[in-house]
Structure 1
Amino acid sequence: MKHFAYLITFILISAACQGVGQRQLMYTPDTAKLAKAFETYREPTITHRRFKHADIEPLILKRKGGQVFEVTQLGVSVLKKPIYQLKYGAGPKKVMLWSQMHGNEPTATMALMDLFNFLEAEGDGMDSIRSLLKTATSLYFIPMLNPDGADVFTRRNAMDVDLNRDARAGATVEGRILINAAKAVQPRYGFNLHDMNIYYNVPGTPTPVTIALLAPAYNAERDINQVRGDAMKIAAGINRVLQDFVPGGVAKYDDTYTPRGFGDNFQSWGASTVLIESGGYKGDPEKQFIRKLNFIIILNALIEIAQESYHQYDIDEYEAIPFSDSKLSDVLLRNVGASRDSISYKVDLSINRDEQTEGSDYYVQSRITDVGDLRESYGYAELDADGYYFMAGKIHPNVFGSIEEVSLEQAMGYLRQGYYAVQVARLPEQRLHGLPLVVFHQRSPVPASPNLGREANFFLARDGVPAYAIINGYLIDLSVTPQVEFKNYIR
């Protein structure tokens, strides 16, 4: 910690010595210290991404009247949920950060709760960072701009409007709140914090885009002025930090000018604005690792803004970041043997698992998203099925009283016998289940086929013996006990 404090002090001294006109400060982030800060100040009450407004409101209100943050209620949502702003610092560089304007994009909101914990701490060897931010910046945080959407985990607000397409019209109460906040603060910098779907990949690779960055355009020509150029430099610095954690896992978001978008308008209003999109990372379904990345890159970017060390990065470094592609799926099966109308063929299948909200949890519904030659596509799970053949499964002949009568071991045994579905006589109050089976009460599942849009419930067999099962889009090797958490639903 002493080294980190010394580094910050050295930078401040260097800035004073160089004078106003020279801003090329050489700064190397201590990413290990930033990562440790996250582990220390991670908000323990939030452990999954489907939290609600009632979960974060106490974390905001407990800071009201304190010495660290100035908490203001900016207004209420369509359904009358309060929307808050937290201000930190009293410096000349004004920065506005807003999260979850799409209700089902919560990763950055989690990271802001962690950041609030860090900013109000002291005596840990990182007080020099807090002092720097307090004196050099005024930070305006608006977490969960769309609480109505967050409570039901949907993108749009209660008026069915996409808030990120309301910067021009200001037709929504939440959009007007953000517009009015921007007018009141007149920030010099902005951070537009989002999530994107997990199926973006770095072009030409199976690597998911874990974080996508963008310095939005302020006009249709996508010109670069000082405001947008500074945003590009900040994004270039963020990319450097991310390469320590997800090497090769960063891309740019589409930079087509969107006259209705808030990022584009903030840029045109004079705020150097960076869009941060949290994407996918294998083995991180609740985005807790990506939450950590958000904490690290946001905190470091604020340090860079405070000391203006982002000027050390070149716009060309930002331009060199590739644009994201969208050729990733949950499961990619290559060379699956199949037949139709006496014609035998081999085909590639891509499969996705779409999330369906159930209270504070979710289940998945699978579908085959593409069929054919998918050599340029990838999957979080991939299998070369050459030598294996598509086989439709059977429904178990027994009707079980309840789901509790079937264990994981029994389920795996049924799969090995070619049974993919079981029927239960009673529906439990909680219909989510974690078995690798299709479980139904009355409505029998539709027979499987390797066709576009169909549910992914079938086997890959050799000589008539199932070797792999694909159950609701999960790829299961029948030779081992699965370690996956299945998010399934009793029909």
Structure 2
Amino acid sequence: MDYEKIFAGAKQEKLSGRYLCNTHIEPILESLSTAGHVSVLGHSVLGKNIFGFRIGQGETKILAWSQMHGNESTCTKALFDFFNFLSAESELQRKILSEYTFQFIPILNPDGAEAYTRVNANGVDLNRDAQDLSQPESIVLRRVYDSFQPQYCFNMHDQRTIFGVAETGKPATVSFLAPSFNTEREYNDVRINAMQVINRMNTTLQQFIPGQVGRFDDGFNINCVGDTFQFLGTPTILFEAGHYPGDYAREMTRRYIFFALLSACEPVHENVIVNNEIEQYLNIPQNNPNLFDFVYKNIKINYESSEIITNFAAQYKEELVGKTVKFNAFVVKMGDLTDCFGHSEIDGEGAKYSDGAENIPLPDQPADFFLDNREYHNGSLKS
């Protein structure tokens, strides 16, 4: 399958960047209404529409939702790319739509999406509300789950740039999880079916991002939606869209999420468990929070009246300014950075650090400083 060619023809060019809310997707959904069924499934705390898009006539039903956390938009972009693919006539498209029925919720948390926050308008993390169902958005998702009765669930998120693949120093560009259904983290057919889909997606992605696929932690929490649906007997897959080198807008990552969605369709339909599904799944390296956006090594500072050579790291904070997400770097750690990596690494070779204040890279201060005569602003060398 020519994934690159299919993606090039399907990419939704009207969506880009990190900030994505109802205003961006409503006109696109209107244009998709001739290909599938667009509906309002319910409303958010602030009364915003929670849209659904249903398409396909097949027996295997897949429920997928994105932006449960409002500031996690990469998978939403990939879903709209997938919608374009499902709406354009092709032999593969017809085959998929004859075998599957999809129910999508592209933005479950429209209030959080507009404010660019993880939580909803009541300050609640919807991914910890699966049991209490205290929020209208949680109730909408559960009502759709109960009425649609899917054979598979795709729970779609973003993960921070801190996550790497084990100890390799490579970013976890895409990570997956077949959530646990009990505290013992046991395996049953439901969970193994989820692993089967993950294994196929991983096999595909290794062709494009070798060594950049991770496995998310499987600690059980019944308050999490994925754990709850797995507990209820529906194979559920967590998608985590992560960092690709230099791709803070996550335009490359959306491509690989699209590849994963496309490759997921085949194993879901086959539905044949082989003996080594668990082994294959566990061979996917675990995520490790061992990455920083910037690492500076061998930096000279004055510390307690002595000159020492040290290291420090900086991390971006994402802040919504107007309708644009700005990335501002702050110092997060100084000292021993053994077993840590940077998306950008700078060897100061003994250059002297200064910042016009304490002249020490202290945590939580902006990453604006000098190394000898070289000026760094927001973590990067100023041109």
1:321-374 superposed Cα distances (whole Å, 9 cap, x missing partner) = 111111111111112111123212111101112121112213333321111111
Other structure's SS at 1:62 match = helix
Partner of 2:336: 373
- Alpha-carbon distance between aligned partners in 1 of 2:60 and 2:325, rounded to the nearest angstrom: 41
Alignment counterpart, residue 99 of structure 1, candidates 55, 62, 66: 66
Matching of residues 82-97 of structure 1 within 5 Å: 82-97=49-64
* Residues 363, 86 of structure 1: alpha-carbon distance in 2 compared, 3 angstrom cutoff: closer
Partner of 1:47: 16
Q: Return the letter of the residue paired with 1:255.
A: D
Native 8 Å contact 1:236 1:313 kept in 2:
no
Native 8 Å contact 2:309 2:350 kept in 1:
no
Matching of residues 386-465 of structure 1 within 5 Å: 386-393=349-356, 448-461=359-372
Matching of residues 130-149 of structure 1 within 5 Å: 130-149=93-112
- Alpha-carbon distance between aligned partners in 1 of 2:362 and 2:46, rounded to the nearest angstrom: 42
Q: Deviation at 1:130? A: 2.1
Native 8 Å contact 2:291 2:342 kept in 1:
yes
1:119-154 superposed Cα distances (whole Å, 9 cap, x missing partner) = 1111xxx42x22322222211111100111111111
- Alpha-carbon distance between aligned partners in 1 of 2:277 and 2:325, rounded to the nearest angstrom: 43
Structure 1 residue 328 and structure 2 residue 282: aligned?
no
Q: Deviation at 1:275? A: 0.4
Q: Deviation at 1:60? A: 1.4
Native 8 Å contact 1:381 1:475 kept in 2:
no
Give identity over the alignment, percent: 34
Alignment counterpart, residue 160 of structure 2, candidates 192, 197, 207: 197
Q: Deviation at 1:91? A: 1.6
Partner of 1:121: 88
Q: Return the letter of the residue paired with 1:456.
A: A
Other structure's SS at 1:80 match = coil
- Alpha-carbon distance between aligned partners in 1 of 2:378 and 2:213, rounded to the nearest angstrom: 30
- Alpha-carbon distance between aligned partners in 2 of 1:447 and 1:364, rounded to the nearest angstrom: 24
Gaps of 5+ in 1: 1-29, 394-445, 477-481, 483-491
Partner of 1:411: none
Partner of 1:471: 377
Q: Which moved more, 1:243-252 or 1:379-388?
A: 379-388
Asked which structure has the greater RCO (Cα within 8 Å, sep 6+), the reply is: 2
Q: Which runs of 4+ in 1 moved over 4 A?
A: 309-313
Count of aligned pairs between the two proteins: 383
Q: Deviation at 1:382? A: 0.7
Native 8 Å contact 2:162 2:289 kept in 1:
yes
Q: Return the letter of the residue paired with 1:472.
A: N
Gaps of 5+ in 2: none
* Residues 134, 313 of structure 1: alpha-carbon distance in 2 compared, 3 angstrom cutoff: farther
Q: Deviation at 1:313? A: 6.5
* Residues 88, 211 of structure 1: alpha-carbon distance in 2 compared, 3 angstrom cutoff: same
Partner of 2:193: 230
Q: Return the letter of the residue paired with 1:382.
A: E
Give TM-score scaled by structure 1 length.
0.75
- Alpha-carbon distance between aligned partners in 1 of 2:304 and 2:152, rounded to the nearest angstrom: 62
- Alpha-carbon distance between aligned partners in 1 of 2:93 and 2:273, rounded to the nearest angstrom: 18
